[in-house]
Amino acid sequence: MADLSKRQEKIISEAALRVKSAPWIMRITVRKDYTGPALVLSERYITEKKTEKLREYGCIYNGALRHCRRAIQVMLSEVTDEAGRSLGLDKLLEGEIAYRGNLPLNDTIGAKLALLAKLHPQVRRADRVELMAWRIERFTREETFYWLTKVSVPTYGRRGIEWAKSGLRLMLAGRQDDKQVIHDILDKIRK
């Protein structure tokens, strides 16, 4: 943590107090199969034996993290304390990502990032991944949980999950040959 600024160290110390009770955790880590940092999204749940566990939903890494960083920062800026003040988690993704560890997320932001983690691996073009991230950022809480359930819970079997992922990717990021339309939408949607 020597590369962290004083501001980032303060954000981390305040966030650390909330990690044990947060409904979602985002772990910033390094994995040998990815280049650079990876954001691992996990949801806290209670087992039948009344113990707490974390269920990993996926991770955002490599090019997807590079191209979606701004959208992810906007989402992270919406994680607040009990008084409604931003925890400033978005500041930890500025410049080179030096922090490694767990960060607390609220229900909505955790689900949005988990949805992005579930969808991005099959999308090859950077502009489509970025568009998908910006559109997920604009989802309401209800939309987020609806779609996360569709792409995670095998109500209609494993094939149903794949159909839901495929349809949602198409809805959020268009087709491979929609290059100009995607760039036009990105110019309007970026913050």
Task: In whole angstroms, give the CA distance from residue 132 to residue 71.
Answer: 10
Q: Whole-prediction pTM value?
A: 0.92
Tokens 């999308």 belong to: 123
Which DSSP state fits 46? E
pLDDT at position 155, please? 83
Q: What is the crossing angle of helices 141-150 and 157-173, to 10°?
A: 140
pLDDT score for 186: 94
Tokens of 102: 């767990």
d(CA 173, CA 188): 14
- As a whole number of angstroms, the distance between CA 113 and CA 40 comes to 9
pLDDT at 65: 96
* Contact (Cβ atoms closer than 8 angstroms) between residue 105 and residue 42: no
Q: What share of the chain is helix, strand, coil (3-state, %, to 5)?
A: 50, 20, 30
Nearest-angstrom CA–CA distance, 24 and 141: 14
Question: So what's the pLDDT on residue 156?
Answer: 83
The dihedral built from the CA positions of residue 17, 13, 67 and 181, taken in this order, carries a sign that is: positive
Domain boundaries, the chain: 6-189
Mean pLDDT by 10 residues, the chain (191 residues): 81 95 96 92 95 95 95 97 95 93 97 97 94 98 96 89 95 90 92 78
User: How buried is 74 (Cβ within 10 angstroms: 0-12 exposed, 13-18 middle, 19+ buried)?
Assistant: middle
Token code pair at residue 134: 């910006």
pLDDT value of position 1: 43
- What pLDDT score does 5 carry? 87
**Cα separation of 40 and 174, whole Å?**
26
Q: How far apart are CA 75 and CA 156, in angstroms?
A: 31
